[in-house]
Amino acid sequence: MQVTADFISDGICRITLSNPPMNLLTDRVKRDITESFTRVSRDPSIRVVLFVAAGRHFCCGADLKEFPERIASNAAGRVWDDGHRMLEAIIRMPQPTIACVQGNAIGGGAELALAFDFRYFEQDARFGLPEVTRGVMPGNGGLERLVDLAGLGKAIELMATGRIISAAEAKAMGIATAVAPADAGKTPPMPLTEAAQTPNAGASTTSAVLPASSMPSHHTDEAGSETPCTPMLKAAEALARQLAALPAVAVQAVKCAAHQYTASKARFCPTGRDMFERLHATDDIREGVQAFLEKRTPVFKHR
């Protein structure tokens, strides 16, 4: 199983993505995430959901090896629908959700992170939506979420340039809820080649780094399995326990009311789907994907 759910304790459920080495969002992984969150959302004994990704990276986005078949079979509309179902399964959960983001959260991985109510980043995490560099746009629902969280101007800048940002800048934009110290024993994330990066001259110097706690180095759930307790995971679990201790009816009412307030924006979905499908019929997406597979710089024709 690439997506698993286990009950930790005190009403907290942990859902884990494990599709090594990059935790790519294949079509199957997206379906598994959708099914896992839908199933957990119906369990009244679960009051908080903690989402973690195994390995060095949170999620490095779509599997571009699936793109040629997607383009040839005119499946962009289905991909849009599947991606939005995945994010909606997370967003519409009555329980509050927390994502733990380490390494790279890129493309579809960034969209996945944006679906959560709370987004805890490790200090050396990287975040970005570089779909434009492959001739397409975000299609899982992250475009809408990024506008809501970062504002229209910043959202367009990030998506139109494909720029990758640090955890500190993500925090300054409202994308990261909090930033925790990186695990001292791990290797830093590999440099990104997925997007042409521009100098980050405007990055905030305010990192809002959470202090590391003195909790044990490993966490053991009720089933007896262990997960390394990084400072980020410790901070996220502390928040989960705080939320789980509050009246679940009130916490869920706050979340529901906030989403009802923004529900009118759902009218965008048919328009966005049409744009996403049209982009998959262009010469430039074919060139962007082929250039990635051939490990060369794409030559776009702008059509």
Q: What is the pLDDT at residue 184?
A: 66
Cα dihedral sign for 185, 107, 287, 81? positive
At 143, which helix (H) or strand (E)?
Answer: helix 142-150
Q: What is the pLDDT at residue 185?
A: 61
Residue type, 109: G
Reference 233, options 50, 109, 60; nearest CA is 50
User: In this structure, what DSSP letter does residue 62 have?
Assistant: B
Asked whether the beta carbons of 94 and 41 are under 8 A apart, the reply is yes
SS3 215: coil
Asked whether the beta carbons of 140 and 84 are under 8 A apart, the reply is yes
7, β-bridge pairs: 13
| Alpha carbons 285 and 84: distance in angstroms, whole number | 21
For the segment 185-221, what is each residue's pLDDT rounded down to a tens digit? 665 555 443 333 333 333 332 223 344 333 334 444 4
Low-confidence ranges of the chain (pLDDT < 50): 191-226
User: How many CA atoms lie within 13 Å of 155's alpha carbon, on the beta-carbon side?
Assistant: 18
Q: What is the pLDDT at residue 186?
A: 62
| Alpha carbons 122 and 168: distance in angstroms, whole number | 9
Q: What is the pLDDT at residue 198?
A: 31
Residue type, 61: G
Q: Which residue carries 């706050």 as its tokens?
A: 254
- 218-220 and 226-228 beta bridge pairing: antiparallel
| Alpha carbons 238 and 61: distance in angstroms, whole number | 28
Q: What is the pLDDT at residue 302?
A: 86
| Alpha carbons 240 and 252: distance in angstroms, whole number | 14
Q: What is the pLDDT at residue 5?
A: 94
Domain 3-265: what homologous superfamily? 2-enoyl-CoA Hydratase; Chain A, domain 1 (3.90.226.10)
Q: What is the pLDDT at residue 261?
A: 78
| Alpha carbons 33 and 112: distance in angstroms, whole number | 10
For the segment 120-171, what is each residue's pLDDT rounded down to a tens digit? 999 999 999 999 999 999 999 999 999 999 999 999 999 999 999 999 999 9
Q: How far is C-alpha 275 from the geometric centre of its chain's CA atoms? A: 22
* pTM of the shown model: 0.82
Q: What is the pLDDT at residue 202?
A: 31
Reference 1, options 25, 33, 24; nearest CA is 33
